[in-house]
Structure 1
């Protein structure tokens, strides 16, 4: 089968971020049995060596330069113009900013030439390249990493919106946008049941399959021993707004109270491209902002527990899966544990759930004090990852969708 994969984010190396990890591992699996043409965009920090490395993973690699970044701090007139464009075109500025006319022309010609059986959009931002008429002669798939409408709705509901007025204006527009782009595709893939429910509202007859993320068990082996102590870790790309909100919330509202009980408690914020708000946290007692590191697994193995205090953002979280694979006890919010069966009746306890500061303090204190609880979470969570959340499992299910099979998920 000939598969054309579209990814406006450069998916190599697969440690760049959540979007890139999913895209890379799915194309890696599909490339074992199918002819893969990958069309992607090169950002300024992508090296020639990385392009060469990615080229080895696919049959054909086509790379376009990413369009120049738009200025984010714009005046009132410019903001009104952007809103007007959103109203008229139905496409958010965040999608239009990545749009390349050259890439569109290439995709149009490739599809018209009949050189592919399937076109996949790896992340919904790539939907812009799909013409409505494509699906009349080729299977079109969109791999929705998270619902943009659902995320905006959640941010407004939880008070984590950066600009509440803007998001209240955008909310109905995002609903219209998501409903319209979903109609262009033969198949829709999401990462969690919650996102399936969200998108099903737009089209009751849509073919929507839930395919969670996975973990590379070689890169994230289970830790050889419990380090004990009072060391907490958070992992993730630190220019991501949801991650920034998470570590700021935890550092300001939870950690100081934990340190009153356990004065030697430390908090490692591990991830590339830390934003200024994150770097500023490094000046607080016990907080270490690392930036990009050679191995996330090493930091996980050295930690007593991992927190995933997400307050916004839909979709399954790679950071949660990776910590569980490494055998690190996890304390996470409902958003951080989305898509995972970790507690409840007839379910082995695999993580501790917390949403409010008092709940985090209670859960973390229990783990600090109870080595048997840490061991229980470590074993149960690792077993879940091995049996349900590997990239081989995800890749096999994704392949079945490409081949036209229906998944009973």
Structure 2
């Protein structure tokens, strides 16, 4: 099958959750299918070349779109936000689509016999609107309108809440149209599938969970420091920055007051300068930016903290931690979408305020925490392997092609 995936920046190195998912599924499916990946150039041409070479060595063709995704900082960013008030589509949709992407898609479709197109993020369906008569799959890493609703519910500044409410409603309208146009919508959890069926009225939804590279994380040799807490996540994603703020403002100070020798590692991609400056003034807190391998941090930590109150989909960081045998304490939102049980596989707290006490419980009783982690590890290794999940997505692709063939044959018969 000839499949073209329309995405953002190239998914290598796999240093953010969406990149991990895209890379692992794409590499495995490229063993059986011809895959082309249309991507936006980044601001680092060397990194783009390295990523393109890596993907090419694994059988994935990369096609650059001469259009950069604008940064989320500076005066121009705020000008774009203001201008988006007049747009019918959300800011993220407007800035990730444009004439260059439409031209690249049109040119590629004219030159190649593509059996199936996949939007690697829901907003990219906007630029695929001109594709007619071919199956189109939407990879919905999250239900974006749900995330914006949670932004709205947690924002306390009136002017920001006013703006966020408009983005939320725009995403609801955009997702309703997009999900209706797609041949299939692929989500990462049963919860997201039910949300799309119930709130958006489409039943063409399939679940392909997030996963882990079993061999990669089974190789972790734990050397636990019981009083060391780790937070893992891309700092480019607003929900992670919100979670880190809670961790530094509320949670870790309470832990430190009870256990003065406790330590906190913040590990993630592209932290803002404001966070880097703040950490310099905080006791027992270290920031580790753009690390090449998270496994050493999973090996030495005593527990992972996931204090998310905004989010959607499911958390790869929890799967990776448990696959490495690391205990996890999470909010309900943080553990959403995963088939894990609180008290058996990890600790889930209902309120962010309760997280400090839960972390202290793991520090004071490491054997119980480690027992839960071992239970979670067995479940994750059994149910969340990328090999199994890629095969599931491959069957969805084949089903789309079969359905398209049946529809085409039906039209021809009716035409007679």
**TM-score, normalized by the shorter chain, greater than 0.5:** yes
Against the structure 1 CA distance between its residues 116 and 95, is the aligned structure 2 distance closer, same or farther, given a 3 Å change threshold?
Answer: same
Residues 232, 305 of structure 1: 8 Å contact kept = yes
1:36 match: secondary structure: strand
| Alignment of 1:305 onto 2:303 | yes
User: Would you say the 8 A contact 1:10–1:40 is kept in 2?
Assistant: yes
What CA distance in whole angstroms lies between the structure 1 residues aligned with 2:347 and 2:107? 51
The residue aligned with 1:208 is 205
Structure 1 residue 57 displacement after superposition: 2.2
Q: Residue 129 of structure 2 aligns with which residue?
A: 131
Instruction: Give the equivalent residue in structure 2 for 1:53.
Output: 54
- Give 1:181 deviation, angstroms: 1.5
The alignment partner of 1:295 has SS state of coil
Please give the per-residue CA displacement for 1:258-296, whole angstroms capped at 9, x wherever unaligned.
111111000000112111332113421111001111220
Q: Take 1:51 and 1:59, find their aligned partners in 2: how far apart are those partners?
A: 8
Q: 1:254 aligns with which of 251, 255, 268?
A: 251
Residues 136-155 of structure 1 mapped to structure 2, 5 A cutoff: 137-155=133-151
Q: Does residue 196 of the first structure (1) align with residue 188 of the second (2)?
A: no
**Is it true that 1:10 corresponds to 2:5 in the alignment?**
no
- 1:1-400 to 2 correspondences below 5 Å: 1-15=1-15, 17-47=16-46, 48-67=49-68, 69=70, 73=75, 79-85=81-87, 87=88, 91-112=89-110, 115-131=113-129, 134=132, 137-159=133-155, 163-221=160-218, 223-225=220-222, 227-279=224-276, 280-343=278-341, 349-400=344-395
Q: Secondary structure at the match of 2:153?
A: helix
Contact 1:310 1:335 in 2 (8 A): yes
Cα distance in 1 for partners of 2:340, 2:274 equals 31
Aligned Cα root-mean-square deviation (Å): 2.4
C-alpha displacement of 1:169: 2.4
Asked if structure 2 preserves the Cα contact closer than 8 Å seen for 1:244 and 1:275, the reply is no
**Residues 55-64 or 228-237, more deviating:** 55-64
CA 1:171/1:100 → structure 2, altered by over 3 Å: closer, same or farther? closer
Which SS does the other structure have where 1:340 is aligned?
coil
1:103-150 C-alpha deviation (Å, 9 max, x unpaired): 32231233355611111111112212212652xx21110000111111
Structure 2 residue runs of 5 or longer lacking an equivalent are 402-416
On the 8 A contact 2:304/2:329 being kept in 1, the answer is yes
Q: Secondary structure at the match of 1:338?
A: coil
Give me the TM-score of the superposition, normalised by structure 1. Answer: 0.90
Give CA deviations for 1:332-383 in whole Å, capped at 9, x if unaligned: 0112101112226xxx711101243542122112211223212212211111
Shift of 1:160: 7.3
- Cα pair distance change 1:74/1:32, threshold 3 Å: closer
Aligned 8 A contact 1:305 1:330 in 2: yes
Gaps of 5+ in 1: none
1:321 Cα offset (Å): 1.1
CA-CA distance at 1:69 after TM superposition: 2.0
- 1:58: Cα distance to partner? 2.9
- Cα deviation for residue 68 of structure 1 reads 5.9
- Separation (CA, whole Å) in 1 of partners of 2:177 and 2:400: 24
Q: Separation in 2 of the partners of 1:205 and 1:72?
A: 39
Structure 2 Cα separation of the partners of residues 118 and 384 of structure 1: 33
The answer on whether the counterparts of 1:2 and 1:116 sit within 8 Å (CA) in structure 2 is: yes
TM-score when normalising by structure 2: 0.88
Q: What is the CA–CA distance in structure 2 between the aligned matches of 1:13 and 1:231, rounded to whole Å?
A: 27
For the residue of structure 2 that corresponds to 1:44, the secondary structure is coil
- For the residue of structure 2 that corresponds to 1:229, the secondary structure is strand
Confirm or deny: 8 A CA contact 1:246 1:308 kept in the other structure.
Answer: yes
Query: Contact (CA 8 Å) 1:67, 1:100: kept in 2 or not?
Result: no
1:75 and 1:63 map into 2 onto residues whose CA distance is 24
How many residues are aligned here? 396
Contact in 2 for aligned 1:160/1:311 (Cα 8 Å): no
CA contact (8 A) 2:211 2:384 kept: yes
CA deviation string 1:234-276 (max 9, x = no partner): 1111222111111110111011111111110000001121113
